[in-house]
Amino acid sequence: MTEPDEQDQKAASGEPRAALLPLAVLRKRSDFLKAARARRAPCPAFLVQARKRADGEAMGMRVGFTCSKKVGNAVARNRAKRRLREIARLVLPRMGQDGYDYVLIGRAEKTASHEFTAMQADLAHALKKLHA
């Protein structure tokens, strides 16, 4: 008999199946610039930008991550982006909406050291505010 893989175990533990799927990631600079002109919600450890895409654009939810050199050296920026990716993976499938682009921007000395559960709650609160 085969052992259930890790995703099946997580799904059985009550975590939503959508949280296990990889999110579509923004890669083009133009997408980041469009999101920068859209609505934003500041949080203590990061900033969230949300842009509703036009009807002609592709459907689905996409997310992007960025940290400037103000956050620190490459190691600090990568750590901050890893944390942002993880909270997005956990919160966006439940709270995000189809047809939106989200950009999470790390803050200097805050993103890497802020309490992880507080960051998740902050993202959930910011998404409620953006979609209100």
Averaged pLDDT for residues 111-123: 96
Domains for the chain: give ranges and CATH numbers: 43-131 (3.30.230.10)
What is d(CA 119, CA 107) in angstroms, rounded to the nearest whole number? 12
pLDDT in tens, 54-110: 888 777 899 999 999 999 999 999 999 999 999 999 999 999 999 999 999 999 999
pLDDT of the residue at 56: 80
pLDDT of the residue at 34: 95
Say which amino acid occupies 1. Answer: M
pTM for the model: 0.82
Strand 62-66 to strand 24-25: parallel, antiparallel, or no bridges (unpaired)? parallel
Residue 88 gets which letter from DSSP?
H
Q: Is residue 101 within 8 Å of residue 63, measured between CB atoms?
A: yes
